[in-house]
Every structure is written in C-alpha cells, then in structure tokens.
Amino acid sequence: MSSRGQTDLGVSERDLVEVPGRKDCRPDRDARRNCLTSTQWVPTNDSPRLPLTINRSDHVHYYQGGKPFEYTTYNPITKEIQVQILGPDLLNGHVLQFPGA
C-alpha cells in the first residue's frame, strides 16, 4: 500500500497492465497501472456507502472492522453480479476479503 492508491511505476514491467482509455484520464497520459489493487474501506456514520467505482484491474476487497457491509460487484464481460457481505461473522456467510476482477 505504499503507493496509496496511485500506480507504482517503480515496479517490474510484468507487474503493470495497460488499460484502454486510462491515458485520457491521467495528466501524465500513462495508460499503465498495477496488475492488482487492494481496496481497504471502513464505512462510517458520515460515509456509510462507497460510491460506485469502476475497477480497471484485478482487486481484493478487505473487511477492516466496524459494522458488516454489503459489496455488490458487476462484471460487464460475463454480465455476472456478485454480492458479498464483508464482516466478522464467518459462520453466517460473511467474508474477510474477496477478489474481484
């Protein structure tokens, strides 16, 4: 997490992927990003929902404490919707982390 959400271009080229359309959104016009992203987010009373986000690389979502919350992901290629509850109650189906692509 040393890059704090930004692409770490100091890694090996094999750890980067080029994302179509990304250069149009970047001031440096670099279309590359890290192959894997980690999402660590804790809902609060002031910010109970994570805004709709488009992940442009594989990613892992982590439960970091607090109340359980629902993560809904949609894969536009497979048209598949996946719902996971991130939380501490593993016996009731909660998960501590889940991968998304």
- Asked whether the whole model's pTM tops 0.85, one would answer no
Q: What are the structural domain ranges in the chain?
A: 35-100
pLDDT at 93 over 70: yes
Which letter, b or e, does each residue of 63-82 get, where b requires 16 or more Cβ atoms within 10 Å of its Cβ?
A: beeeeebebebeeeeeeeee
pLDDT in tens, 50-65: 777 777 677 888 888 8
The conformation of residue 34, written as its DSSP 8-state character, comes to E
Rg of the chain over Cα atoms, rounded to whole angstroms, equals: 15
